[in-house]
Structure 1
Amino acid sequence: MALRKEHELHKRRLGRNMGVGLLLGAFVVLVLALTMVKVTSNGFKFPQTQSQAGQG
């Protein structure tokens, strides 16, 4: 039980922080999903480095 009543500003700030947190989480999931789709596709090849390009 709180000693002082929570100010209305804190309630609004909590709602805004939750929204930003959800958007950030959705962005991370989107980037992870796009990365997994790209890596697991059949046409994916790792870029050749300078040392590998000179040997072949």
Structure 2
Amino acid sequence: MSLSKQHELHTRRYSRNVGVGLVLVGVIAIVFGLTVVKVTRGDYEPASTQTVTQ
């Protein structure tokens, strides 16, 4: 009886986990990229609340 042999279920589960992990990393990269672009363009700055009096 060998302890190192994996059942085919474990192989399929590992492949599925790798796929889900890659999708998760892709979504995180997209959100991070959008955040960086939004901050560097200056869209993140709140509106000025100062009133100019003359």
TM-score range, shorter chain: 0.7 to 0.9
CA distance in 2, matches of 1:36, 1:13: 34
Structure with the higher helix share, 1 or 2: 1
CA distance in 2, matches of 1:45, 1:32: 14
Letter matched to residue 7 of structure 2: H
Change (3 A) 1:4 1:45: closer
Q: Which of 1 and 2 has greater Rg?
A: 2
- Computed over aligned residues only, the root mean square deviation of the Cα atoms, in angstroms, reads 2.0
Q: Paired residue for 2:45?
A: 46
- CA deviation after TM superposition for structure 1 residue 45, in Å: 4.5
SS at match of 1:44: coil
TM-score between the two structures when normalised by the length of structure 1:
0.72
**1:7-55 CA-partner distances (Å, limit 9, x unpaired):** 00000000000000000001000000000011111x524225xxx73xx
Change (3 A) 1:23 1:45: closer
Runs of 4+ displaced beyond 6 Å: none
Number of aligned residue pairs: 49
Q: Identity rate of aligned residues, in percent?
A: 49
